[in-house]
Amino acid sequence: MRKNSPNYLCSIELLQSVNHFKGIKDSELDKILENCTVMSLPKKYLIQQSLLEENIFLIMKGRAKLSKIDLKSGRECILTLLKVGDLFDIVTLLDIKDRDISVEAIDDLQLLKMPIKIAHNLLDSNPEFNKSFLPYLGTRIRQLEDFATNLALYNTKTRLMKLILENCDYTDKIDNSYLVKSINDLSHEVLAQMLGSVRKVINSDLQKLKKDNIITSVRGNLLIKDLDKLKNEIKKS
């Protein structure tokens, strides 16, 4: 990507804003972008395995889900919900072995694509990038640890409440209720895939939380009506 590209300005502004590229000089960011291209993908697009094996992606716009699918039953487990600023697939970046995962667009996606060889060179030659990237990698690993721990130790309702609390936007309110960012408009089926459950159970648990005046829904947006009560319910679980 050259500086005269229509995507250059928004690309470099995003790199400057995300923590895992902070500390890198603008001249180095220019070099990174020289090896990147922008991809636009429609909602529900399933990214081909060959692309995932050969490239690393940074989400510029939209959300995607990184999943494992059981071919016999067709059941899907969402390992990570990917948002603006997230990189994928970082496991392939660190380990070149074949990986049976799928990445699907939840919204219309805009991605910054970098060949994985270039990404490896960046890891090898730029200590400033490593200083920022390694904490980001640690955060992603911690998310997977939390996922495994929650699945093993808590029932579905508690896992759902924890997910809602983790995505609470303390800066945005509608009718004195807190907006639940990132997951507020997801279907019950997708929430079930994120929590290792099924749609029927998630729907039942959501109805119970609404009945207890802990959460509510306004114009299709999931909201936390009583934040203190939600936290107390989690503590009691």
Question: Do 1 and 114 touch, CB atoms closer than 8 A?
Answer: no
Distance between the two ends of the chain, CA-based, in angstroms?
A: 51
Encoding tokens for residue 200?
A: 């029927």
Range with the poorest average pLDDT among 61-75, 124-138, 163-177 = 124-138
What structural domains and CATH numbers belong to the chain?
8-152 (2.60.120.10), 154-236 (1.10.10.10)
Most distant CA pair in the chain: distance in Å? 57
pLDDT digits (tens, 9 = 90+) for 4-47: 788 888 888 888 888 888 777 888 888 888 889 999 999 999 99
Mean pLDDT of the chain: 89
pTM of the predicted model as reported, rounded to 2 decimal places: 0.85
